[in-house]
């Protein structure tokens, strides 16, 4: 298993991942577009495999899915790092761009593709899920 590390833009928040991602996807929901100015590239990890140092601020809102989504970011530089959802308890989204080696994880699908802007570049080789995908299950045990 690869030990991955990452952090925010200013370095105040750092994290270490001690598991492989459950799944990795590009999200084109409208909330993600507000965060990134684009889609977001994400990987989902078991929450207890993420070791965080530093302080994060949090903003919660109801997603298009109906789930309450809490997004965590650095209060100093504004960089978004993590998201939790009432629709996937025990799993946490990590923003791929915050990894020290973002190429070490490859997204396998586009989700919420129906709300992507006309100019979005969606890899034609990846499946497109128009709205909310099925929730991944945390690994047993
Ligand atoms: Zn920061
Ligand atoms: Zn999204």
Whole-number Å distance, alpha carbon 34 to ligand 2 midpoint, is: 9
What's the gap in Å between 77 CA and the centre of ligand 2?
21
Least distant ligand from the CA of 73: 1
Residue 71 has pLDDT above 70, yes or no: yes
Cα angle 38-21-94, degrees, rounded to a multiple of 5: 40
Query: pTM score, two decimals?
Result: 0.92
Residue 139: the pLDDT is 61
Residue 64, Ramachandran bin (φ over 0: left; ψ between -120 and 50: alpha; else beta)? alpha
Tell me how far CA of residue 45 lies from CA of 12, 106, 132, 139, in angstroms.
21, 14, 18, 10
- 83-139 pLDDT, tens digit per residue, is 999 999 999 999 999 999 999 999 999 999 999 999 999 999 999 999 988 877 666
Neighbour count for residue 119 (Cβ, 10 Å): 6
Q: How far is the CA of 116 from the centre of ligand 1 (A)?
A: 28
Residue 77 — very low, low, confident or very high, per pLDDT cuts 50/70/90?
Answer: very high
Ligand nearest to the CA of residue 8, numbered in listed order: 1
* Nearest ligand, CA 15: 1
Residue 61: pLDDT band (50, 70, 90) is very high
Under a CB-based contact definition with an 8 Å cutoff, are residues 87 and 131 in contact? no
Position with higher pLDDT, 133 vs 65: 133
Q: Which CATH code for domain 4-129?
A: 2.170.150.70
Q: Among the bound ligands, name the one nearest to the CA of residue 87.
A: 2
pLDDT at 140 over 60: no
- The pLDDT tens digits of the residues spanning 86-100 come to 999 999 999 999 999
Per-residue pLDDT averaged across 20-32, rounded? 95
Tell me what pLDDT residue 120 has: 96
Residue 65 has pLDDT above 90, yes or no: no
Q: Which ligand is nearest to the CA of 80?
A: 1
Cα(140) to ligand 1 centroid in Å equals 33
């Amino acid at each position: 298993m690869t030990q991955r590390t990452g952090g925010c833009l200013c370095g105040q928040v750092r994290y270490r991942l001690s598991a492989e991602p459950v799944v990795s996807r590009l999200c084109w929901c409208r909330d993600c577009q507000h965060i990134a100015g684009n889609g977001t590239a994400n990987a989902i990890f078991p929450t207890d495999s993420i070791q965080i140092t530093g302080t994060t601020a949090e903003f919660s809102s109801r997603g298009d899915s109906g789930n309450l989504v809490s997004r965590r970011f650095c209060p100093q530089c504004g960089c978004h790092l993590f998201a939790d959802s009432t629709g996937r308890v025990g799993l946490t989204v990590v923003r791929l761009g915050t990894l020290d080696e973002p190429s070490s994880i490859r997204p396998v699908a586009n989700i919420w593709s129906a709300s992507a802007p006309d100019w979005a570049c969606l890899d034609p080789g990846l499946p497109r899920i128009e709205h909310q995908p099925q929730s991944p299950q945390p690994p047993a045990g």
